[in-house]
Chain A
């Protein structure tokens, strides 16, 4: 009888299309929007991901997220480096600087100062130039997105493309000359500001004067050292906060979730998509059942049991759910593919796939339950009423 149920479903092309389009729309909204949300949240800790080598980030206890700069006194670096279980500890400057562009414009940038001997904290992938070029005086490395867009020279004529910032070009950072020696590939940041990498000492020169300059201490644990134990030890001995990379990412995300309107805005969007998708799909599937009520009545009169009817209708609902979800997911993947490496943040972990799949099944189950209620209540004697 499953075959009969399936043919009843797909045989009515317009209704079938309506149900599938409804579920595809719901699937799309429930995958694309959360994907953008997760992508955006991932960007908040993009810099932590890029700095791959250290195991632990040490910072002022008041720091709440990666861009929250609360510099430490310089001697803290040596204090941390001397703690048992620490293989090495390197300084990292992270701040903001206003760059004056070759064309005369101004642009706020993230300024990263890395250890000048080991370059720990510097970008792992350089598209142009070499990391050792940072030894040259006034040298900086800029990220690709910044070089192509916000640090690029504006077109002379409207409509013409911008001229990307290139190696050898100069910027003015806080009245200091800076020469571009490399273009790096980095993760996009939440604020989408250009990132300028230089040595720790030079970053201090470029940035506005401040009493303390050590933003983070990057720590590598000795082999076999338990990271959490080491974090606790650093905290106990220095009073500073020490987080593993994952903990620091969580801290950053929690800050954005708690103090920005992003989750609630996306949440509303996803909820609306879910409700609209549920309304369209549920209504169409319910109408489909109502329109076929006479035939369900005929089948009941002929002796089909409620159990078999349940099986038929649940199978119909599952079939359209899978199809709609698959199509919705397909459109989302297509969008993700087309917007890859663009401004649009998108990330689609497996957990999100399960969440959206669950959502679609809730919609389908709800429609099926509504339909089943009507079919179970149906008096088979309806077949003799014309």
Chain B
């Protein structure tokens, strides 16, 4: 299987006044193409920092991070933008849907960023919403959607431009149990169908069963990588 993400000796330090905070310490991690990897661990252990670096929106202090063979932090700012717009999909804990756009328009944003016209992108957004079971809410604004529905719209937005890697930050933590499992199920099904790698940061043990592997993190390090079965035991 092809390696989607390869992190070698990844370190990230933040300067916080006189204090230096080490968020990541020598992370070595490979994520395979088509794999769903969960990053689990207590708050402040570096999960979000790690996916931010993998997604190319944060720069590491040392080490390398290759996404589909490309060391993304070697790219120029403009090339990095283009890379992110084509290769990476995002799902956020707070959904981050633009409140003044309809669901279909929100879903179409990644296509608009790539230069597609508004009408065509919205139509494709409408089609994508069918895949997450929200075709009837295509013209609804986010304020009229439930949390679960908003997260499904966000998933449709993350997948519409067929990215090779999707990074999800706590996608189920704001949802109830039923909606959380539904969202994970949709995420898993669609990513498998699209054959993309999926990295999910979560505290939610209910979602472990969807993962291929689970990386347990603590104090900026990956303590162990285990199977869902082991994690649930």
Contact = CB atoms under 8 A, between A and B. Distances in A.
Interface stretch (A68-76, A114-122, A248-256, A301-309): A301-309
Contact of B113 (A10, A299, A380, A385): A299
Interface residues of A, number: 27
B109 A299 contact: yes
Given A1-B112, A383-B57, A384-B48, A303 B84 contact: yes
Contact of B99 (A11, A302, A381, A386): A11
Contacts of B231: none
Interface residues of B, number: 32
A302 B51 contact: no
Interface in B35-53: 48, 51-52
Interface string A266-304: 000000000000000000000000000011001111111
Interface in B89-137: 90, 92-94, 96, 98-101, 105, 109-110, 112-113, 118
Given A1-B112, A1-B113, A11 B57 contact: no
B83 interface: yes
Nearest to B108: A4
A231 B129 CA distance: 82
Interface string A347-386: 0000000000000000000000000000000011101111
Given A295-B98, A383-B90, A301 B55 contact: yes
A12 interface: yes
B82 interface: yes
A385 B105 CA distance: 24
A3 B125 CA distance: 15
A11 B81 CA distance: 27
Nearest to B110: A302
A384 B169 contact: yes
B52 A302 contact: no
Contacts of A51: none
Contacts of A386: 93-94, 170
B84 A301 contact: yes
Contact of A294 (B55, B57, B86, B96): B96
A19 to B, nearest CB: 14
A288 to B, nearest CB: 11
B145 interface: no
A302 B48 contact: no
A384 B109 contact: no
A297 B101 CA distance: 16
B168 to A, nearest CB: 10
29 contacts: A3-B112, A3-B118, A4-B98, A4-B105, A4-B112, A4-B118, A7-B100, A12-B100, A295-B98, A298-B90, A298-B98, A300-B57, A301-B57, A302-B85, A302-B90, A302-B109, A303-B82, A303-B83, A303-B84, A305-B77, A379-B57, A379-B58, A381-B52, A381-B58, A383-B92, A384-B48, A384-B52, A384-B92, A386-B93
Interface of A: 1, 3-4, 7-8, 10-12, 294-295, 298-306, 308, 379-381, 383-386
